[in-house]
Copies of this chain bind each other. A is one copy, B any other.
Amino acid sequence: MGEAAVLIGVDWGNSNLRAYRFGADGRLIERRAAPAGVHAASRGGFEAALAEAVRGWIGPPILLCGAIGSREGWREAPYVPCPAGEMEIAAALTPLSTELGRAWIVPGVSAMTRERAETMRGEETKAAALLAEGFEGVMVSPGTHAKWVRLQGGRITGLRSFMTGELFAVLQDHSLLGALVQPGPHDAAAFELGVQRALTDPAVTSLLLTARAEALLGRMAAAAIPSYLSGLLIGAEVAGGLADLDPGTPIAVVGSPGLTPLLTRALALAGRADAAAREGEAALAAGLWRLGRGLTQIM
């Protein structure tokens, strides 16, 4: 049987599911990953997908976070408005009815201002890990819908989303740019050119088309275009994110090994070489423990 588990944490996004089995004090006993994201799982049933993911683990309470709590997920877990700290989020866990045991879904967090409505799901859990460490500043979570999350006084106080990853994908797969693009290895020079241009010129809907013109006029190799596009979109994100910050606000990039270095490089080009890089999956697991440890008391 091995070490007794006291909590199962599940990071269940649109594309992937990652499950963590925690022992006492949050020690990670075992982890699993499956391509059973919300989109795929919704077809075969969420309960079956979760049963498969936690096979042999049944017993401890289960805490799920991410898109599984969205309207398209298993059960909608209403957003907690900013400012939201660990206490506000943990108090709003949404119970889930399942044969697999007692289960809850972490709520997303919303930030509504007169100018903008913003929401996130999953990133609040990563933020909980940083808050637990006393981090104050901005957590940057790169990805499909990148988030810049403001952490102040132990709570999430604001957030801003950028469509960086999704635009990168739809432009390559569904726009006229796609016809010109060839897959290629990361081209650091093209990436940095894109970042620099986006940092100095806010008209990104115009800059995106320069990828087409650069290729048509033979100034850039087709295999370099994806890196250039990535640079433009990440550069636009960094320009927009930094515009909201006081100079010197601490920045932690908390993402995947593929994306985090791109963000830290773009931040360095914008004069923020001091931004810290953190492993996103580790932060997410730590956040699940942090938000779920109260559940272990009610076994």
Contacts and interface: CB of A to CB of B under 8 A. Distances in A.
Interface centre among A79, A171, A203, A206 (most CB of B within 10 A): A206
Given A79-B217, A201-B115, A216-B119, A206 B166 contact: no
A207 to B, nearest CB: 8
A110 interface: yes
Contact of A204 (B112, B205, B214): B205
A61 to B, nearest CB: 28
A209 B161 contact: yes
Contact of A206 (B162, B175, B205): B162
A93 to B, nearest CB: 20
A177 to B, nearest CB: 8
| Chain A residues touching B, range | 35 or more
A164 B205 CA distance: 7
A24 interface: no
A79 B216 CA distance: 10
Contact of A205 (B167, B176, B210, B212): B167
B162 A209 contact: yes
A161 B236 CA distance: 17
A180 B118 CA distance: 15
A31 interface: no
Interface stretch (A50-58, A237-245, A273-281): A237-245
A29 interface: no
Given A162-B203, A173-B174, 9 more contacts: A116-B213, A117-B216, A117-B217, A119-B216, A163-B175, A166-B175, A167-B205, A202-B202, A204-B236
